[in-house]
């Protein structure tokens, strides 16, 4: 009987340790920051810079969930206002939950074939790569090549657009 119980506990522990852990990324905000943008479907640990003993107002809605310790689960796109306290001072921050993929189309890219954010631009004679073909440094270039960052022969990023 005792042996079975140990086996059972071992089994439980195994279950706990093998459960998929949702990777949380840390978001640092400044005290009194107005807005925080996160992505739906992700988990974050929100930290307030230079602040000890931060207490968040725990809340659970269909769009998000936040604990007292600032562990935020962004579930669905939308906006909300989060409250927290540093010492006795209260702060509020606007939470913006964005869709997981950028397919919602912000219309910022001029080239629909290259909506991938990894796409970089460079000139054959240039020393650096650019994040946009509309970079001022490229204004006088006749030949602008583009491709993924890994296929780009340049090692340095342009200071104007990066």
Q: How far is the CB of 135 from Zn ion (least distance, A)?
A: 3
Nearer to Zn ion, 81 or 116 (CB): 116
At residue 161, the 3 state secondary structure works out as: coil
The answer to whether residues 80 and 61 touch, using CB atoms and an 8 Å cutoff, is yes
Chain residue whose CB lies nearest Zn ion: 158
Q: Could you say which DSSP state residue 130 is in?
A: B
Distance between CA atoms of residues 160 and 155, nearest Å: 15
Contact 66, 58 (CB under 8 A): yes
Whole-number minimum distance, CB 113 to Zn ion, in Å? 20
**Number of residues located near Zn ion, criterion CB under 5 A:** 6
Per-position x/- string for 121-160, each x denoting binding to Zn ion as judged by CB under 5 A, each - no binding: ---------x----x-x--------------------x-x
Q: Report the distance separating Cα 57 and Cα 119, nearest Å.
A: 40
Longest dimension (CA), the chain: 82
Q: Is 82 in the site for Zn ion (CB under 5 A)?
A: no
Residues near Zn ion, by CB under 5 A: 130, 135, 137, 158, 160-161
């Amino acid at each position: 009987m005792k042996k079975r119980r140990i086996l059972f506990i071992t089994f439980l522990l195994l279950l706990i340790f093998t459960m998929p852990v949702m990777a949380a990324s840390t978001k640092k905000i400044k005290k009194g920051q107005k807005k925080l943008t996160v992505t739906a479907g992700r988990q974050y640990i929100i930290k307030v810079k230079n602040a000890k003993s931060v207490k968040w107002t725990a809340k659970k809605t269909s769009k998000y969930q936040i604990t007292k310790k600032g562990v935020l689960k962004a579930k669905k796109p939308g906006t909300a206002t989060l409250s927290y306290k540093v010492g006795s001072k209260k702060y509020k921050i606007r939470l913006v939950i964005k869709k997981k993929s950028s397919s919602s189309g912000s219309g910022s890219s001029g080239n629909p074939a290259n909506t991938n954010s990894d796409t970089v631009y460079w000139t054959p004679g240039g020393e650096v790569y650019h994040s946009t073909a509309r970079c001022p440094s490229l204004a006088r270039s006749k030949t602008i090549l583009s491709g993924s960052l890994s296929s780009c022969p340049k090692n340095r990023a342009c200071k104007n657009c990066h």
